[in-house]
């Protein structure tokens, strides 16, 4: 797939919630990309988009020329304490039919640009240790390994380890306490 034909858009509940829901649910049911057991619902999506809007967090999508959502990327607050206000935790999900074609990289680059524009300082990834493609993608983009949390999840009859990666941005221009 040539990324020239891909358009990057801001996803909205009205236009993309159903396709994002399908991508989420495929990952929940068939992978350890999400440490969840039950598929999400449209009500979950309404709340999810509401939280993104409330926090001014982007939901960026990659769509093909026919308007099909191929993948999306977003971030949200890393932790709720005020001193973490310059750190975000991100997620990238690509539709199963379009993985390993460069979309994750393109979406991540768009997300890094958005984080800089919003004056964040650190982007954090929490990745299942067996997700080799995601680990390799993050490392190739300059994310640095921060450690592994052993056996913090249990899914598909096994304990799951979570690797933490971070990317330090050159922003904000003027960080402040409080």
Question: Region 32-61: what's the mean pLDDT?
Answer: 97
pLDDT at 2 over 80: no
Please indicate, yes or no, whether the overall pTM of this predicted structure exceeds 0.85. Answer: yes
Per the CB < 8 A criterion, the answer to whether 60 and 74 are in contact is yes
Whether the per-residue pLDDT at 3 is higher than 70: the answer is no
Quick: pLDDT tens for 67-112. 999 999 999 999 999 999 999 999 999 999 999 999 999 999 999 9
Q: Is 156 exposed, middle or buried (0-12, 13-18, 19+ CB in 10 A)?
A: exposed
- Average pLDDT, integer, range 12-35: 97
Domain borders along the chain are 3-168
Mean per-residue pLDDT of the chain: 96
First to last CA, the chain: 46
What is the model's pLDDT at position 74?
Answer: 98
Mean pLDDT of 38-66: 97
Give me the architecture of the 3-168 domain, per CATH: 3-Layer(aba) Sandwich (3.40)
Name the one residue in this structure whose structure tokens are 């001014």.
Answer: 56
> Tokens 């240790």 correspond to what residue?
129
What is the DSSP secondary structure assignment for residue 2, as one 8-state letter? -
């Amino acid at each position: 797939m040539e990324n020239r034909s891909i358009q990057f858009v801001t996803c909205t509940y009205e236009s993309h919630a159903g396709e994002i829901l399908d991508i989420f649910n495929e990952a929940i049911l068939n992978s350890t990309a999400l440490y969840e057991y039950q598929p999400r619902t449209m009500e979950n999506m309404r709340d999810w988009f509401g939280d993104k809007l409330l926090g001014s967090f982007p939901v960026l999508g990659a769509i093909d020329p026919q308007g099909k959502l191929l993948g999306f990327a977003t971030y949200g607050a890393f932790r709720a304490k005020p001193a973490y206000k310059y750190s975000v935790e991100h997620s990238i999900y690509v539709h199963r039919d379009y993985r390993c074609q460069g979309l994750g990289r393109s979406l991540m680059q768009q997300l890094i640009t958005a984080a800089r524009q919003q004056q964040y300082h650190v982007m954090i990834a929490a990745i299942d240790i067996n997700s080799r493609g995601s680990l390799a993608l993050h490392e190739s983009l300059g994310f640095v390994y921060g450690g592994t949390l052993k056996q913090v999840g249990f899914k598909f009859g096994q304990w799951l380890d979570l690797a933490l990666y971070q990317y330090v941005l050159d922003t904000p221009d003027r960080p402040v306490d409080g």
